[in-house]
Amino acid sequence: MMHNKTVPQVQGDFLLGNLRQMAANPLQAFYDWYRDYGDLVSFRLATRQFYLFSHPKLIEQALIRQSDIFVKIYNPEKPTGIALILGQGLVTSQGDLWQRQRQLMQPVFQRSNVTTLLPLMVTAGSNMLNRWRQLGEGAHLNLSNEMTRLTLEVITQTMFSTSVLDKIEHISPSLDTLLRYAIKSIVNPLTLPLYVPTPANQKFKLALGTIDDVIYGIIDQRRAAPLGQNDLLDMLLKARDDSSGEKMTDKQIRDEVITIFSAGHETTANLLSWTLYLLARHPDVLARVRQELDGLLQGRIPNAEDLQQLAYTRAVLSESMRLRPPAGFLLRKVNKDTEVDGYLLKAGRSAIFSIYNLHHHADFWQQPEQFDPDRFLLPQKKYSFIPFGTGERICIGSHFALMESQLLLSLIVQHCDLQLLDPNEVEIEMAVTLRPKGGIPVRINWR
């Protein structure tokens, strides 16, 4: 077939290419380039060339039909992005290792097993509400910090049967440092290697050491005192290689635990923060959510069957993930020359699939900037909505995250009125995930 289409190239500086726009605001740069150049564009960061995908058809052709060509980027000699934090965990690993680990962990995240974890999620949510009550009527909170604390408790209790809330003052700033450094290593190829003792590199190493101490502490505590729990940590510690019979190394266990620990709470914290923020800005939508919750639950805590019936509440979460997807993009490497929709793509280049652009594409979403949960009461075009990714690498924890989010949102909305302290719109900040910049200050009142 003739390659008769050339990928548009974003205009940039002679030496640095598009580095300035990218370093200033990567999310805005991606959106501007999609708007100005189209659904598939090429851009350059110093010496590195990237492709930017923003259309469902292109994403299907690349990530579904050519998943063997658009592969995860992991170079143990020179890791970048979240691989700097996660090592060869489930999000970053490839090939046989990924297949084996995915197969091992899949049962933990099946819907039937996630349902059995609901009581632990309820306990975490109830404890948070009780702590809020003790602060008194009209107390001020930073919603982002509170949701991070809540989802961290949920993931550690459900997956590792422990709590790390006593270390939250160290964990939160360390994770923040790590994620900011990870995105910088992607958007700025001129970042100096970690062995160079720059202040940023030293800060990253210190933060990683803090998180590693927490992760290895969880592992060592379990080894010293097995609980007989059939949780994820127990499965990882007992797992043996089918051919050699060898157990996983401490490093492998660490990589998987830190992957679930980090990815399992950061994205859900952002989803809950953005959803509560959007509800506070749209009282008509909040009223409909409350009407559904009050009508079905009559003030009680929802169970698994109830969650299935809360269609509008689910639609609100979906619309929140469309407007503010917890993960803004997917990153792959083109491992050989290929063609997508008549465009020739070259081996060795990186491909960025913008979930944010996809979720704001005017061809698939009427008034894409408007918060309208009703659109999710109707079927959506395939691949136009991929908050958890797509294809064989779709997020293993999607059922877990949705059930957790729906349950915790229901608990909070049933009991609390959250009033925004700042009338201005909260900015989006991309630090791998899409976070509320500066957090979300609120005043809490009780229903």
pLDDT tens for each residue of 227-253? 777 899 999 998 887 777 788 889 999
For residues 91 and 102, give the distance between their C-alpha atoms in angstroms, rounded to a whole number. Answer: 10
Check residue 288 and give its pLDDT.
Answer: 98
Q: Where are the alpha helices (DSSP H) in 106-142?
A: 111-116, 118-135
Check residue 311 and give its pLDDT.
Answer: 97
CB 31 within 8 A of CB 360: yes
CB 408 within 8 A of CB 121: yes
Domains of the chain, residue spans: 19-446
Check residue 157 and give its pLDDT.
Answer: 95
- In the CATH scheme, what is the code of domain 19-446? 1.10.630.10
Instruction: Give the C-alpha distances (Å, rounded to integers) separating 417 from 73, 225, 295.
Output: 44, 42, 18
Q: Where are the alpha helices (DSSP H) in 38-167?
A: 56-59, 83-86, 95-105, 111-116, 118-135, 143-160
> Percent helix, strand, coil in the chain (nearest 5)?
55, 15, 30
395 among annotated binding-site residues: yes
CB 400 within 8 A of CB 292: no
Residue 174: φ, ψ to 5°: -70, -45
CA atoms within 13 A on the CB side of 412: 28
**CA-CA-CA-CA torsion sign (359, 364, 369, 375):** negative
Q: Which regions in the chain score pLDDT beneath 70? A: 1-3
Check residue 309 and give its pLDDT.
Answer: 97
- Burial-class residue 115 by CB neighbours within 10 Å (0-12, 13-18, 19+): middle
For residues 355 and 44, give the distance between their C-alpha atoms in angstroms, rounded to a whole number. Answer: 20
Check residue 411 and give its pLDDT.
Answer: 97
Give first-to-last CA distance, the chain, whole Å: 64
Check residue 3 and give its pLDDT.
Answer: 58
Q: Which residue has the tokens 């051919």?
A: 243
The answer, as to whether pTM is greater than 0.75, is yes
Check residue 2 and give its pLDDT.
Answer: 53
In a 3-state reduction of DSSP, which class is residue 330? strand
Q: Where are the beta strands (DSSP E) in 183-328?
A: none
Instruction: Give the C-alpha distances (Å, rounded to integers) separating 35 from 39, 132, 360.
Output: 8, 43, 11
Q: Which residues pair with 140 in a beta bridge?
A: 443
Q: Which residue has the tokens 């994620």?
A: 179
